[in-house]
Copies of this chain bind each other. A is one copy, B any other.
Amino acid sequence: MIDDLPAGFGARRLDEEDHLPVLAVLDSWWGGLKGPAGAKERALLLPRLYFQHFTSTSFVVERDNGEMAAFLIGFLSQTEPEAAYVHFVGVDPALHGRGIGRALYRAFFALVREHGRRHVSCITSPQNSASQAFHTRLGFTTSAVKPGYDGPGLDRVVFGIDLGAGARNSGA
């Protein structure tokens, strides 16, 4: 399902039972970014609906012992026929630098290409410089900070990538 994972890791589709385990890792993986308000904000961005209705374009990476190592939650745009969106990605910080995040994105790109999607976008908070560096390395363009992008006080940076013309035929 996902190529290029390090030895000792496996991938599978997200499912509804992953909801609470994903919420449980958010605080430790994000290192308390923006404090308790940040923790609440992250939980509210991941209501159960994502774990029910968008599992077919979302992945979990686990260690061989079943412990969660990373996840990616994305979807196909229902409005824009050539667009897909990555809503939330997390990688255990102890595993950063091992290519797991990159492998998750590659798997998502391959999957959405099969659905004819070429434009992929996602956002992060202006404080998350690690996310901005990571997406730049993956080839995303990065916007300037957009004040109030997700509502009053919810500033965001927007990432975008064009997977190229003929996305449907370009394989994985």
A interface residues, Cβ below 8 angstroms from B: 19-20, 23, 40-41, 43-49, 52-57, 75-80, 83, 85, 87, 148-152, 154, 156
Contact = CB atoms under 8 A, between A and B. Distances in A.
B152 A23 contact: yes
A45 B43 contact: no
A43 B154 CA distance: 9
B48 A150 contact: yes
Contact of A53 (B56, B85, B151): B85
Contacts of A83: 53
Given A45-B47, A48-B150, A55-B79, 11 more contacts: A23-B152, A41-B44, A43-B151, A43-B152, A43-B154, A47-B154, A48-B156, A52-B79, A53-B79, A53-B83, A76-B78
Contacts of A54: 78-79
Nearest to A56: B79
B41 A151 contact: no
A148 B43 CA distance: 11
Contacts of A148: 20
